[in-house]
Amino acid sequence: MPFKIPKNPSKKFLRTFLEEQYQSFNTECAVSETLLDPLLVARKFRDEKIALFCALFAYGNVRAILKFLDSCALEYLQHGQRKEKIKRNFSCTNKPYRFQSNIEICDFFQALWHLDSLEEIFYIGYQKGKSGNGILGGIQNLQNAIYGRLKNPNSKGLQFLLGMLVTEQNTSPLKRWNLFLRWMVRKDCLDLGLWSSVDKKDLLLPLDTHTFRISQRLGLLKRKSYDYKAVLEVSEKLREFDASDPIKYDFALYRIGQLGLFN
As a whole number of angstroms, the distance between CA 184 and CA 206 comes to 13
Contact 21, 218 (CB under 8 A): no
| Tens of each residue's pLDDT in the chain, 263 residues | 556 777 788 899 999 989 998 998 887 776 665 567 899 999 999 999 999 999 999 999 999 999 999 999 999 998 755 555 555 556 788 889 999 999 999 999 999 999 999 999 999 999 987 555 799 999 999 999 999 999 999 999 999 999 987 776 778 999 999 999 999 999 999 999 999 999 999 999 999 988 999 999 899 999 999 999 999 999 999 999 999 999 999 988 887 776 666 65
Q: How far apart are the first and last CA of the chain?
A: 10
Angle at 261 between CA 257 and CA 263, to 5 degrees: 90
Contact 53, 77 (CB under 8 A): yes
As a whole number of angstroms, the distance between CA 159 and CA 153 comes to 7
As a whole number of angstroms, the distance between CA 20 and CA 14 comes to 10
Calculate the dihedral angle through the C-alpha atoms of 187, 188, 192, 193, rounding to the nearest 10 degrees: 10
pTM of the full structure: 0.92
As a whole number of angstroms, the distance between CA 215 and CA 233 comes to 10
Domain architecture of the chain: domains with CATH: 1-30+204-263 (1.10.1670), 37-176+185-198 (no CATH)
